[in-house]
Structure 1
């Protein structure tokens, strides 16, 4: 970067990753902290690439009618970009517009990366649904990871950097976590967690006893710093979405149904229903798998297997006629090997839970090449004020 020059940009559309797209002298510019329809003064931060540059908005010249005061002052555009807190990149956008922009990204990914035709996308008609909680999306995180700089100051990283931004509030976190926010801490990271009716701060090496979360009338035991959905409404929302996505006409309770990347058994329990559905949940983390076995112990037809999903599928190459395969892979997606193995088992339907639209689209494209098509797709705004979303798709054999 030769210099941090500033340019005026007319913002055209949204892109994956929480940035918008503008053009300058025929070159694409990915610009942060703006939204389509605005004209902004932006500072070029990366001009090393021939095809695109990156920039940060530093002043809004012509605001969109969908721009609102940022829900987190520490992340607002009136701060210098290097001092803006990361993790709330859509916080300046009206909630309904946030969801419509996420829909645009999802639809674009399905076509450009997943290879779905415009007619197929139109038939799916995917929407990003609001979920229970505050309309502005604040107080929607029960787990927050903060970082500690060399002087002990605590805060998130600035966007797209490893620079710690000390903050005095955490409006996206539930109130109990904001009250725990320290000015200084030791170590390199600090997790703030609200779980099991308690709230605590812990470093990555701190030992904490397991906690218990409740979803409806069911209790789920998990490690205090283990994986659990961040939004307070997410476990119930996703459980209902999985039950709605699985076609009951194709869900054979006696088939060899699978829950892959199963964690502590949340979605396996959703698939199992009242316990009459046979389901095996597969999880590589030892503690989570042990908790899954305990959490599902009252469901006589459920079992938990500790294994890497790819290894489990490679070792167990049986066909599963009539089965429902549920998977909730990490943000990077399942990948071609896992997708191929699932397809080879010949299930009746596949229910795919995704937290990244590009990874979802990539895997759907792989499934399509193996003879599968998405029959339904719904998305949920479980990460308000960010570009993230959660989606649930059902796939069936094509033709």
Structure 2
């Protein structure tokens, strides 16, 4: 019987909501965890739960290569742009589909084009590269066609800051010209990579929630090199206003964009904007479980492909990471993957559903952190669980 050392924890997340929930979960096991406020040290048996910029990846990589038995665990991988940057991910999917023509991503990731733009004056050249997109935008201007809407997203900006839903090249030109002429907006001039994605204009709507559009925020946990879990505490994030697809050319953001940060001006309460997916009313269990199965198979396929792309996704054996995956369901109950975010905004869950995030951290501590440090998985019962969807060990 060996006496195990306490696990030292360096915990510092900028968001107080997240920091408090993690602290609460760790303090419930204060027989095992000692929270310390000192700056990073390289003592044995240490858990780092910090912002990405605060993690010492040089040290982590060095320790990965050394064969000593020191145990360190960090809450992020260093290299994962192949998953998180929208243009890199679109390139990965293209490559993946070329190798695996039957991949589920073929039907569960919207048609996506990469636009590399130095300046609005060069939009023509950028669209010549993305010629299929150019041809569709051209077709959209013809009389008597049912135009296909697209959505423009900056490859690396989050928070729905630069989204545009549009039909034609001239709308796109107008958007970029306006952005670049707005001298206050330095950030946009530094963004070269954009993606243009077919806009899913027939989202699933539930009359009981005023036919407001919603997307799903699914928490995915990656650990070591490599296991992937999907958490079944899934959020449904709603727009404020009823969805209208009467070819309304204005694309009101409060109807079309479901990110919580866009709904800041909403007249609705938090409870109307953020709900738990498995508690949505008027949706039968069979449908819910079908949607969850689609989500799991999409996540599995993404990591099956990414695990071979070591230059853009590099899991290491002394780290884990939580991602926020966004999915949209269409009126035929087909699930589409939209994007993945690291260090997701847990605060948007709000107070009434904070148990969902707390149980995510409890699951993480029980099934990932404790076993890493040689403790048996504790079997505290949580209502929500992690589901293993991918497991393949590689050395790094």
Whether the TM-score (by the shorter chain) exceeds 0.5 is no
Instruction: Name which structure has the greater RCO, CA cutoff 8 Å, separation 6+.
Output: 2
Normalising by the smaller structure, the TM-score range is under 0.3
> What is the TM-score with the length of structure 1 in the denominator?
0.25
Structure ranking higher in strand proportion: 1
Structure ranking higher in helix proportion: 2
> What is the TM-score with the length of structure 2 in the denominator?
0.25
